[in-house]
Amino acid sequence: MLAREVLQRVREIQIHTGRQVADVLAGQYVSVFKGRGIEFDEVRPYIPGDDVRTIDWNVTARAGRPYVKRYVEERQLTLMLMADVSASQDFGSAGRSKREATAELCALLAFSATNNDDKVGLTLFHGGIEQHIPARKGQRHSLRVVREVLAHGAGGAPDRPPRGRIDPRAARDARRDRKRAASPPRGRRRWLPFGRRRAWWRTGRQATDIAGAMQFLMSVTTRKAVCFVVSDFLDEDFLPAMQNANRKHDVIAVLVTDPRELQMPNVGLVSLADAETGRIARVDTSSPSFRHQLAQAAANRIERLKRDFQSSKIDFIHIDASGSVVDPLVKFFRMRQRRLRR
């Protein structure tokens, strides 16, 4: 994607998702995600019905009557978006690729976080870590997150903007991120074999390494964060790494699929290329048994992913790249609200 096309697409996504954030998702984002902890506010006299575990015994002894500690939730969150930009994400059969659907979902979440004064960070991964943008606040930063998802998914770094239209703040942020990538903190060098070093060696974008991406997340995010892992999950043995990350963070798995991955039309003999492995197979799509087996295998894979995530206490969202990304997100928010009320 050229720089001008990327900027135009970012503007379209901003206009489209901005209305949805204001009209559809308003209030739902803040109601389903808890703050990263609680902080002490004050002490007050004990009222019958208060939890006795909150009694401040030191104040009680001095005052001669019971007092309890009052806490308030620390509301500010850190939202981390882990976006898969491997080669399989470029596939799309209905006017929008899985990568573009991923960018729109990231925009919805980033703008919702910005409206609630939360920080947003981004990690682009494939067989290695393509780029990491530390969590920050502001709409300008959210727009940069969307731009990077669109540009890097098209292969490598985004094209340079036209001369005379470079944003000084964005250029300064990009220089700082490149400097951090070239010289990571000493305490985190042990994580480099599956993180930045693999990206620096330009690992092929055909592969997908979700486990490495989750380990990288654990190395760069010290405080608890809400983490959306957006991918088609064409990988193996990633569940233990996601389970480990979910013990510290609130991990949500977002599966993005295309209709042609779930059901193949009758178009006769075709050659299919696997974007992840490069293998090419010639198949006869006119065979009803082949189409049935393909659809059954795809349905079984989605059901297996859903079952594995549920057993690991990881929330699961399934998004169709050809449809709306808002409806599955609203359904997820409502599910979290019902669970919090229990």
| C-beta of residue 140 within 8 angstroms of C-beta of residue 174 | no
Q: What CATH class does 3-32+78-341 carry?
A: alpha beta
Please, where in the chain does CATH 3.40.50.410 lie? 3-32+78-341
| Residue located via tokens 């004064």 | 117
Residue in the structure block whose two tokens are 């659809």: 295
pLDDT 10s per residue in the chain (342 long)? 556 666 676 677 766 666 666 666 666 776 677 655 556 678 999 998 888 888 999 999 999 999 998 876 555 788 999 999 998 898 888 788 998 899 889 888 888 888 888 899 999 999 889 899 999 988 888 888 888 887 764 544 443 433 344 445 555 655 565 555 444 444 433 333 344 333 333 345 667 899 999 999 999 988 888 999 999 999 999 999 999 999 999 999 999 999 999 998 898 998 888 877 778 888 899 999 999 999 999 999 999 999 999 999 999 999 999 988 888 988 898 888 888 776
Threshold 0.85, pTM exceeds:
no
Phi, psi of 130 (to 5 degrees): -75, -45
